[in-house]
Structures are given as C-alpha cells and as structure tokens.
Amino acid sequence: MNQHTPSIGIITTKDLRQRGWSNQQRRAAIGSGRLLVLRRGIYAFPTAPQFATSIVRAGGVITCVTALKLYGVWTPETRKWHRRRRECRRDDCRPYGPKPPTRIVDPLPVAVLAAARCLPEEEFVAVLDSVLHRRLMTLDQLSRTLAVAPQRVRRLLARVDRAESGSETLTRLRLRSRNILLEPQVEIEGVGRVDFLIGDRLVIEIDSIEHHTSLENYFKDRRRDRMLIARGYIVLRFTYHDVVHDWDRAVAPIVVGLIRQRRHLRRSPAACHVAA
C-alpha cells in the first residue's frame, strides 16, 4: 500500500517524543501558543485546518470522504465533514467491519469502508477508481479490504476501470448502464490518449477543472480537437459541471442522439474533390 498518514498538523505526545521533543519543550510550546491542546495527549500546530481541530477536539476521528480527500483520492462534493466518534451518533460515518481503534485520521482502508456505506454506488466506484489510478492500493488490496462489506458493495469492484477523474467514472458508469459500449483511455495515433471512444469515431473528453483551466491546456485541448476532427473523429467535450450537475440535459441526449444516428460508426468515404 502506497499511502502515508496525511500530515495535517495534529500530533500526539508519542509523535512529539519520536520527533525528539522533551516534556519541557512541549509545555513551553503550549505556553507560547505554538502548540494547542485539543484533548489529552493530542495537540495541534497553528497550521492545522479548523475542521480537523474541531473534529479531534470533540473526540472524533477524521474518516470516510474527508479522510479520502486528505489521502489525495477523488471525492464528490460534500456538505459535511465526515467523522466517527467512540459513541456512534446519528450523523457519524460507520465503516463496515470491526470497530477500528481511535486515532486522528483513519487509515485509507478504513476510510474506504466508511465511504462504502456513506456514498451512492456511482460515487463509491469513482473513489475506487481513484484509489487505483493514484496507486494508493492495488485491486487485490481493495478486494481484501472490502471482504468485510456486504456482497452488494463487494460487487462494485467489478465495475472499476481506468479513469483519471471522478467525472470520467460517472460518465463511464452512466453510459454503460444504457448499454453503450465504450472504451476508456484510448490511445489515438498522432493525437494521444482520449478519455473515451465509442464505436469507431465518437470521442468523449471530460474536462476536469484542475487539468483543463490552465492556458497551456486550453491551447493543447483545442489542438487535439482539430487533430481528431482532421482524422475523421467527432469530439464531444463535457465539463465536470455537465456531468455532475446537468447530465440529463447536457450529456445524455447528445451522446445517445449521435449513437442513434449511427454517427459513431465510420462510413465509407464519400467521393469528393477538393482543389489542392
């Protein structure tokens, strides 16, 4: 497993000792405000994010979607901080499997088991795709982790595939659920890798905000589109917003409409003459 406990500026007495802090240094740091006591034996540096200090101060453990984000996993937008407490309360996240020990941030497998209960299926598959894409766990490790979850959850592992972002996963799952055959991450000669290819020539690109808003990528995307069109492809470019918030209006009718018209298939080239 290629994961490190995320560093969020919250630390235990034991961690401080391991870093060579004496009790005297710790007390001096607390006295001067460089170290904040959150609860017995747990401290925060001033850099610790406020959500994390409030969860830990209230006796909670950072888990589920909030922990996944700290590990660098794609996560859906969420309005709450995901945590669990020793005495489970109504809005706490509950990982499948045996009750894990109390700590500051749950290890990645525990956070995955909490998200398995907390997230809708599509979003959970996007989390699994992201864990694999970022090489944080292998498929085998995920399979062993999910062994304690119900069969309904374990079956979702069969739906993982290559995806570079959550919006790509959602697109793949939704189009496949309509029995549309598509291939993710296809290499096209002279152009590079496209997000999806349907049939012979319908290319779908999903623009995530992080990767497509720089000026460099703005030019690169347009150059790629021109090269694809010159090679006879049809390129549909959707945004994260189209996929997540406007699927039924912005994405589904366009893709389904083109497939119904059989525009995803190559036709024999019509005879044409272009003056050189």
Shortest CB 132 distance to Zn ion, Å: 20
Nearer to Zn ion, 115 or 203 (CB): 115
DSSP strand pairing (192-198 vs 182-188):
antiparallel
Shortest CB 123 distance to Zn ion, Å: 11
Shortest CB 93 distance to Zn ion, Å: 3
- Amino acid identity of residue 224, one-letter, is R
The 8-class DSSP code of residue 105 comes to B
Nearer to Zn ion, 31 or 98 (CB): 98
- Which residues lie below 8 Å from residue 103, measured CB to CB, with a gap of 6+? 61
Nearer to Zn ion, 26 or 82 (CB): 82
Gyration radius (Cα) of the chain, Å: 24
Shortest CB 127 distance to Zn ion, Å: 11
Nearer to Zn ion, 82 or 264 (CB): 82
Burial of 185 (0-12, 13-18, 19+ CB in 10 A): middle
Nearer to Zn ion, 99 or 226 (CB): 99
Instruction: Please provide residue 202's backbone torsions phi and psi, each rounded to the nearest 5 degrees.
Output: -95, 110
**Which chain residues interact with Zn ion by CB under 5 A?**
64, 82, 93, 118
Nearest residue to 6 via CA among 111, 117, 78:
111
Q: Which residue has the tokens 């589904």?
A: 252
Shortest CB 14 distance to Zn ion, Å: 27
